[in-house]
């Protein structure tokens, strides 16, 4: 395991700024140019298709910094304006911070929002389509705002200020889509890994006490070894404290923070590798 690198925000931003000239990553303008069909067209990210996520040009600097320990010299001269506020990250939180700052300090506030992607919104990107002359907007990342009813008064006011009407969710979102089509979550076992293609009900998170025999029957049909079936049922039904006697509560929390779930199953729950995988 490689040593954890000490990376601060300044290191990252210096790397991002220098990459625009050093060629270690693509600038937003270079990304725009790559997608142009003609010199007169402008790139409009919501019109791009495909699973874009962290597209080329958005991750090279971070990888160079975190994986290779790259460092960049700071510019000797300031080449940009002075800003009242600089926000790193153009997701919902960053955009909200800029909006609230401008509300408090006035519309003439000079704010710079930096992001490593070619569009704002973080993982709440959007896709837009034109069908029969009508513009359709679809989410290209986050599906919906999570539980706005539980938001603080400040958060709720922000939604209202930017004209987000949460009640319209109930008109547009078919909450019975899966139920009406008898669709549910499942587990897939591939032929390459388990000898045959097999799809089963997803029992993870199910209350064993109320459905014990049904759960046993489902697990017994899995194309895995008998010892793995027994281990899986034990894992799902056990109330054992795997960290009993392992120091203080703080020690346990620190252990869990540096241990992945798969490693926890291997080292502390003694679960077979087939179940972990």
| E-assigned strand segments in the chain | 85-88, 111-114, 126-131, 134-139, 186-189, 198-201
According to the model, what pLDDT value does residue 41 have? 61
The pTM of the full predicted model, rounded to 2 decimals, is 0.56
Residues 107 and 209 in one domain: no
155 within some domain? no
Residues 214 and 122 in one domain: no
Q: How many whole angstroms separate alpha carbon 244 and alpha carbon 231?
A: 20
Task: Select the highest-mean-pLDDT range: 14-28, 98-112, 134-148, 262-276.
Answer: 98-112
Phi, psi for residue 186 in degrees, rounded to 5: -145, 170
Domain boundary among 128, 143, 158: 143
Under 8 Å between Cβ of 201 and 187 = yes
178 within some domain? no
Residues 109 and 36 in one domain: yes
Of 24-28, 67-71, 191-195, 255-259, the poorest mean pLDDT is in 24-28
Residues 22 and 133 in one domain: yes
Would you place residue 137 in the very low, low, confident or very high pLDDT band (cuts 50, 70, 90)?
A: confident
pLDDT tens digits, 242-255: 888 888 899 999 99
Distances (CA, A) of 75 to 17, 78, 87, 88, 133: 9, 7, 20, 19, 48
Q: Which domain holds residue 257?
A: 186-276
Helix (H) or strand (E) holding 212: helix 212-220
Phi, psi for residue 112 in degrees, rounded to 5: -115, 125
Number of domains within the chain: 2
Residues 17 and 110 in one domain: yes
1-38 b/e (C-beta count within 10 Å ≥ 16 → b): eeeeeeeeeebbbbbbbbbeeeeebbebeebbeeeeee
Mean pLDDT of 56-74: 88
């Amino acid at each position: 395991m490689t040593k954890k690198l000490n990376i601060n925000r300044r290191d990252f931003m210096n790397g991002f700024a220098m990459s625009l000239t050093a060629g270690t990553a693509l600038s937003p303008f270079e990304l725009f140019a790559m997608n142009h069909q003609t010199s007169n067209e402008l790139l409009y990210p919501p019109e791009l298709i495909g699973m874009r996520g962290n597209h080329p040009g958005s991750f090279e600097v971070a990888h160079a910094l975190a994986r290779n320990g790259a460092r960049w010299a700071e510019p000797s001269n300031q080449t940009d304006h002075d800003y009242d506020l600089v926000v790193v990250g153009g997701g919902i939180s960053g955009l909200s911070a800029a909006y609230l700052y401008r509300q408090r300090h006035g519309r003439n506030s000079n704010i710079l929002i930096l992001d490593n992607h070619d569009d704002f919104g973080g993982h709440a990107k959007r896709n837009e389509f034109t069908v029969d002359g009508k513009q359709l907007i679809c989410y290209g990342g986050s599906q919906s705002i999570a539980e706005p009813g539980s938001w603080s008064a400040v958060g709720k006011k922000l939604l209202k200020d930017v004209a987000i009407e949460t009640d319209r969710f109930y008109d547009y979102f078919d909450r019975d889509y899966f139920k009406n089509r008898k669709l549910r979550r499942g587990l897939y076992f591939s032929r390459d890994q388990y000898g045959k293609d097999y799809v089963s009900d997803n029992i993870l998170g199910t209350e064993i006490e109320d459905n014990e025999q049904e759960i046993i029957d489902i697990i017994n049909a899995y194309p895995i070894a008998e010892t793995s079936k027994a281990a899986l049922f034990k894992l799902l039904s056990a109330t054992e404290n795997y960290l009993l006697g392992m120091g203080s509560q703080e020690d346990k929390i620190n252990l869990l923070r540096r241990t992945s779930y798969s490693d926890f199953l291997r080292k502390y729950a003694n679960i077979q590798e087939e179940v972990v995988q």
